[in-house]
Amino acid sequence: MSRKRGTWLTIGGVFLVVVVVGALVFQPWLLFIDDEVDDGDDASEVVGTASAGIDDTTVPEATGTTKTRVLLASGSFIDAEHGTSGEATIYRRSDGSRFVLLDGLDTSNGPDLHVWITDQESGGGCDGCVGSWSNYDDGDYVKLGELKGNKGSSRYEIPSDADLAGMKSVVIWCDKFNVAFGTAAIA
């Protein structure tokens, strides 16, 4: 084998390894695949809005056999690393449990996406300026679980021991690349 051919084979092999590793890390095919979800809304009836907002600890009373809930906070998603729209709403049920409802969510699919509540301002405190998309893990946050789907409506239970005092936004977070796909102000 000639030296020139050996060089080209080595370059081709290195290039192939780089492409395969890059594909495994970035998972570009997810940009073309949507995961639609429809958990639907909770079966409980909305009976009001909590006067103290997200910090409110008042538990609404059930009316007969009908479970009830109060709205603690709500906000619209804004873009971060990826275009994102929809609503994030936090409720407290008559049994004391809390949950986040993502309604009409539309964002890019991606690797390792999660839903968080964080003490960082939506938009990174500068309305989405470059460099603000990675600051949501700098302070306090509550992990609610993996994003069930990048399109549609889904519910995420908030752990009973989670302290929501001082929390300011709901975030679609990419753990793999430490960036927010979208954020919604809740305070």
pLDDT in tens, 8-56: 767 766 666 655 555 555 566 556 678 799 987 888 888 888 888 888 8
Do residues 144 and 82 share a domain?
yes
Do residues 14 and 104 share a domain?
no
Domain of 140, CATH number, reads: 2.60.40
Q: How confident is the model at residue 186 (pLDDT cuts 50, 70, 90)?
A: very high
- Note if the pTM is more than 0.75: yes
* End-to-end alpha carbon distance in the chain: 69
Do residues 83 and 137 share a domain?
yes
Do residues 146 and 169 share a domain?
yes
CA distances from 165 to 54, 59, 64, 72, 92 (A): 7, 16, 31, 12, 14
